[in-house]
Amino acid sequence: MLTILLDGIASGMLLFVLACGLSVTMGLMNFVNLAHGAFGMAGGYVLVVLLQRWGWPFLACLPAAFLATALLGLLLERTLYARLYRREHLDQVLFSIGLVFMAGATADWLMGAQQQIIQLPAWLSGRVDLGIGELGRYRIFLILVCAGIVAGLQLGLLRTRFGAQLRAAVDDATVARGLGIPVPRLFAITFALGSGLAGLGGALGVEVLGLDPTFPLKYLVYMLIVVAVGGANTILGPALAALLLGVVDVAGKYWLPQLGAFIIYTAMVALLLLRPHGLLAKQA
Amino acid sequence: MNAALETRGLTRHFGGFTAVDDVSFSLPAGARQALIGPNGAGKTTLVNLLSGALPASAGQVVLGGEDVSALPMHLRVQRGLVRTFQISQLFAELSPLESVTLAVLQRAGRGAVWWRPLRRHRAEQDEAAALLARLRFSDAEATARTDLLPYGKRRMLEIALALALKPRVLLLDEPAAGVPPGESREVLDTVAALPRDVAILLIEHDMDLVFRFAERITVLALGAVLAEGTPAGIQRHPAVREAYLGEMAHAPAA
Amino acid sequence: MRYAAEVALWLLALGSYWLFPDYLGLLAQVWIAALFAVSLDLLVGYAGVVTLGHAAFFGLGAYVAGILAVQGWGEPFSGLLLAGLAAALLGLLTAPLVLRGGELAGLMVTLGLALMLYEAANKAAFLTGGADGLQGVEIWPLFGRFRFDLYGRIAFLYALGVLFLCFMALRFLVATPFGLALRGIRGNALRMAAIGTPVRRRLMAAYAVSAGVAGLAGALLAQTAQFVSLDVLAFHRSAEGLLMLLIGGLGALYGAVLGAAAFTVAHHLLAEMTPQFWEFWIGAALVMLVMLGRGGMLGLLRRLGR
């Protein structure tokens, strides 16, 4: 019971780290980026290669995964995404589906279709007795790291100049432009940051969520739920939504395995119907 | 006398902000009335409430004696309450002829006909062509893509779409906005030439146009009716003068 | 001129029966893909409703026709019709959900509903065969006389015939006031309401028609292949439909047919490569076509004609 709860919290926090970039892309830039999961997958593969093939220490692989995917995000934003901000949603959808297909095929070609398995360092493997029951060390590590990221993002958004500009732009991009906020640069940096976080989430998640070339599509629905429920204006909204989703998902898979992914798809549709404007809170 | 359009205590909040505040006014049948007011007075919000583009927070909209407050926009239009838009809302990829034909078909109750091709609806197409010709669209302009037309023509098309619906009440939201002065007269002359039984409410910034067109003027400020009367009376009204002078004093430096 | 080109195109389609006797099965696939693309075009290209879940209707049609045959009713025409009706009904029932919120929420609902249906078919193995696919689909001879053969002769003619009839019906439909109203809604839904059009009712009608035709396409696949796999409901199929429209040109029924033909033939020619590689090229094609702007093959032909 406690294990399920903890597993749920850990995967929920991972989902948040994966999805928070998407909530900004959709909320701030009004861009339907169905390829967001591809950055998560890229981060996962960076970790696998560095850790398993090159023998880097685990803790060095995580920032590397973040940086590599952030750079990839920056590159794609400047070359491709930025041209499509003003286009119709249909164009953005088709474009990003195209990226998903290309990313999946590339991953398959380079790394193969199989699930990736990593060897965690000894200090993160196994279980530890905390007096309330045996808990996986890696789960605890995940929860601590992700909680740190949530706190860092929240502080960054509230206390820094960049955060203030970002909040202004989310509220009203036209006004922000009028105030002299460099919106294109803001978009580029934010996109890179969001991609990097997705990459970090993917890297952290190899052990928990798994990693194979279907990753971007498999977790797209989860990320969309997080964004739809959480809204784009806060950090805590999506974070809570992700936690809830993680717990429900893990519990569902444990107690009702025969329903499979059906529960999560139903939840997505139901939530979209209850909150049709949650995806883009600032549509008007 | 029976009002063509009437509001009772019409109110609209946006969060904590009240854009339209307890507005009660009436538009008699055949009226040539103008609605003026400084920027941010709530003119366009009021038009949106009247036409059903926005739901009201409180109050009623009564059209020819019928309470239409709960009806969506298209049902109000079907009852004769028609509006134009301050920012043109046109069909970029259709021609003016196709656009106006759409409006005529809808008015004639043939908007959903799926069993007879468009080319066999000659009467509706002829009516649309005649209306466009009356508004000085050449044949080439009537059949060109709308987004390729000059701005003035697109403003005229905005009015043509409304006229094609043969409204009983016509709300014109700054029809001459952005149109060069010479052409703006043309726009308003077209409107003034409508049958006398059509009630018209003109929302306009340009005071020359307002005073040339309107027989009565309603002044809106801070979401509420500030004054109402004949053009001469409004010109002398101290509160109106102050509202407008106030606007100039606080005008942003943009 | 335009008329002559149309007649020539259909004659060419029929003539391919004698021109490519070894590829009749593949050509039947082309007609089925074209029917699916045409149905999608009515929704996306004409009415402007973006969907990521059109495979739901294709798949439902396929399963209805397939399950009917497995349960002992293999008569092709009635099975086809029932499948189309079932898909249209699903379209009518789900349209209010899709058209409820904003464009983006609607898009996600289409995706979610299609995923739900996929997962339902996957889990309901007693009815659908689950991941193994629906085995034992036996379709009776066409008109009680023409047996579906191994060479795909009857499949070719059957699929082409159904495509032709549906295409002509849709071509008629888009040239009526209803069709013009759909283009108006795609252009500016607010203005359509402001001229008195009940926008949602028009879109629901378009959704049901589009879903029904997609269901017919799915049924054609089930009946000609005499097998149904989960693949008919997969996300890939929805995305590929959109790609066909991008290739051929949105909002033009002939564009949809051309796009479907180009896509299916390209798929076949590249099939020798690994499937992963194929997926890469689908993705690259989507990205490039979006970057180049819409219009597709038909747009290119028009520009050349000018």
For residue C253, tell me if it sits in a domain. Answer: no
Cβ(C179)–Cβ(C1) under 8 Å?
no
Instruction: Check residue A281 and give its pLDDT.
Output: 46
| Contacts (Cβ under 8 Å, ≥6 apart) of B238 | none
Confidence class of residue C155 from pLDDT cuts 50, 70 and 90? Answer: very high
Residue with the bigger pLDDT between C159 and A226: it is C159
CA A91/CA C290 separation, integer angstroms: 6
Cα separations (Å) of A96 from A78, A216, B139, C186, C291? 15, 11, 43, 22, 11
Chain C residues with CB under 8 Å of A90 CB are 44, 50
Query: What tens digit of pLDDT does each residue of A41-50 get?
Result: 999 999 999 9
Q: Which residues of C have a CB under 8 Å from any CB of B? A: 172-173, 175-181, 183-184, 187-188, 190-199, 201-202, 205
Parse chain B into domains and list their residue ranges.
3-91+167-250
CA distance A96 to C238: 14
For residue A180, name the pLDDT band (cuts at 50, 70, 90): confident
- Cβ count within 10 A of residue C99: 17
Q: What percent of chain C has pLDDT over 70?
A: 94
Tens of pLDDT, residue by residue over C98-149, are 988 777 778 888 988 999 999 899 988 899 888 888 988 888 888 878 888 8
Confidence (pLDDT) at A239: 82
Give the pLDDT confidence of B187-220 residue by residue, as tens digits.
778 888 888 889 999 998 888 888 888 999 999 9
> What is the reported pLDDT for A155?
84
Q: Please enumerate in sequence order all residues whose Cβ is within 8 A of that of B105, keeping only pairs 6 or more positions apart, or say none.
A: B111, B113, B121, B124, C177, C180, C181
- Is C262 a member of any domain? no
Fold type of domain B3-91+167-250? Rossmann fold (3.40.50)
Helix/strand/coil percent split, chain B, to 5: 40, 25, 35
In this predicted structure, what is the pLDDT of residue A85? 82
Nearest CA in chain C to B103: C195
* Predicted confidence (pLDDT) at residue A282 exceeds the cutoff of 70: no
The CA distance from C183 to the nearest CA of chain B, in Å, is 8
Six token digits for residue A14: 């991972």
Contact C222, C63 (CB under 8 A): yes
Q: Do B112 and C184 touch (CB under 8 A)?
A: no
Is B118 in Cβ contact with C179 (below 8 Å)? Answer: yes
Listed range (A17-31, B68-82, C72-86, C239-253) with the worst mean pLDDT: A17-31
Of B74, B89, B117, the CB nearest to C196: B74
For residue A262, the model assigns a pLDDT of: 81
Question: By three-state DSSP, how is residue A152 classified?
Answer: helix
Instruction: Indicate yes or no: CB of C179 within 8 angstroms of CB of B72.
Output: no
Which residues of chain B neighbour C205 with C-beta distances below 8 Å? 112
pLDDT at C299 over 80: no
Q: What is the pLDDT of residue C231?
A: 92
- Tell me, what's the pLDDT at B249? 43
CA–CA gap between residue B168 and residue B170 (Å, rounded): 7
DSSP B127-162: HHHHHHHHTT--HHHHHS-GGGS-HHHHHHHHHHHH
Q: pLDDT category, A39, cuts 50, 70, 90?
A: very high
User: A94 to chain C nearest CA, in Å?
Assistant: 6
Cross-chain Cβ contact C172/B117 below 8 Å: yes
Q: Give the pair of three-digit tokens for residue A74.
A: 């920056």
Q: Which chains touch B (3 or more CB pairs under 8 A)?
A: C
In chain C, what percentage of residues exceed pLDDT 90? 62
Q: What is the pLDDT of residues A66-91, one digit of tens each?
A: 999 999 999 999 998 888 888 888 88
Of C50, C235, C286, the CB nearest to A217: C235
Contact residues, chain C, for A276 at CB < 8 Å: 100-102, 105
Q: Name residues whose C-beta falls within 8 Å of residue C182's C-beta, 6 or more positions apart in sequence.
A: C42, C46, C47, C48, C174, C202, C203, C206
Per-residue pLDDT for B155 more than 80?
yes
Please report, in angstroms and rounded to a whole number, the separation of the first and last CA atoms in chain C. 14
- The whole-angstrom separation of Cα A71 and Cα A86 is 23
What pLDDT does A280 receive?
46
Chain B residues close to C196, C-beta within 8 Å: 74-75, 77-78, 103, 106-107, 111, 165
Chain C contact set for A80 (CB, 8 A):
287, 291
pLDDT at B251: 41
Taking the CA atoms of B130, B134, B138 and B141 in sequence, report the sign of the dihedral they define: negative
Which whole number is the average pLDDT over A246-274? 80
Spatial distance between the Cα atoms of C270 and C263, rounded to a whole number of angstroms: 11
Would you state the structure tokens that stand for residue C113, as one six-digit string? 């509903």
Residue of C nearest to B170 (CA): C194
What does the buried/exposed string (b/e) look like for C203-226 if buried means 16 or more CB atoms within 10 Å of the residue's CB? bbbbbbbbbbbbbbbbbbbbbbbb
**pLDDT of res. B110:** 94
For residue C272, is it within any domain?
no
Q: List the structure tokens of B203.
A: 């929302």
Helix, strand, coil percent values for chain A (each to nearest 5): 75, 0, 25
Q: Which domains does chain A have, with CATH numbers?
A: 2-274 (1.10.3470)
Q: What's residue A233's pLDDT?
A: 63
Which two three-digit tokens encode residue B162?
Answer: 């409304």
pLDDT at A278: 53
Neighbours of chain C (3+ CB pairs under 8 A): A, B
Mean of the pLDDT values across residues B212-230?
89
The pLDDT, as a whole number, for residue A232 is 61
Selected for mutation to probe chain A from C236, C280, C294 (highest A CB count within 10 Å) is C280
C56 CB contacts (<8 Å, ≥6 apart)? C90, C94, C110, C113, C114, C117, C118, C233, C238
**Which of chain C's residues have a Cβ under 8 Å away from the Cβ of A229?**
none
Looking at residue B205, what is its pLDDT? Answer: 81
> In angstroms, what is the C-alpha Rg of chain A?
18
> Can you give the residue range of the structural domain that contains C62?
20-243
Query: So what's the pLDDT on residue B211?
Result: 87
Backbone angles phi, psi at B179, to 5 degrees: -90, 135
Kindly state the tokens that stand for C23. 């590829």
Closest residue to B89, CB basis, from C175, C190, C205: C190
For chain C, the domain total comes to: 1
Q: Supply φ then ψ for residue B26, to 5 degrees.
A: -135, 150
The pLDDT value recorded for residue C303 is: 65
Dump pLDDT digits (tens) for A122-144. 888 877 776 666 778 888 888 88
ipTM: 0.90
A105 in Cβ contact with C283 (< 8 Å)? yes
Q: Is the pLDDT of residue C178 over 90?
A: yes
Alpha-helical (H) ranges within chain B are 43-51, 73-78, 96-107, 122-134, 139-143, 151-163, 181-192, 207-213, 231-236, 238-250
Residue C12 within any structural domain of the chain: no
Cα within 13 Å of Cα(C82), Cβ side: 16
User: Contact A82/C96 with Cβ under 8 angstroms?
Assistant: no
Please list every residue in chain C whose beta carbon sits closer than 8 Å to the beta carbon of residue B50. Answer: none
CB atoms C280 and A99 under 8 Å: no
**Which of the residue ranges A102-106, C198-202, C289-293 would you say has the lowest mean pLDDT?**
C289-293
CB neighbour list of residue C276: distance below 8 Å, 6 or more residues apart: A104, A105, A108, A109, A113, A213
Closest chain B C-alpha to C83 CA, distance in angstroms: 23
Q: With CA atoms as reference, report the closest residue to C284 among A102, A106, A78.
A: A102
Per-residue confidence at B231, pLDDT binned at 50, 70, 90? confident
Out of C180, C190, C201, the one facing B102 most closely (by C-beta) is: C180
Residue predicted with more confidence, B162 or A228: B162
Q: Identify whether C92 is part of a domain.
A: yes
Q: How many contacts, defined by CB atoms under 8 Å, are there between A and C?
A: 130
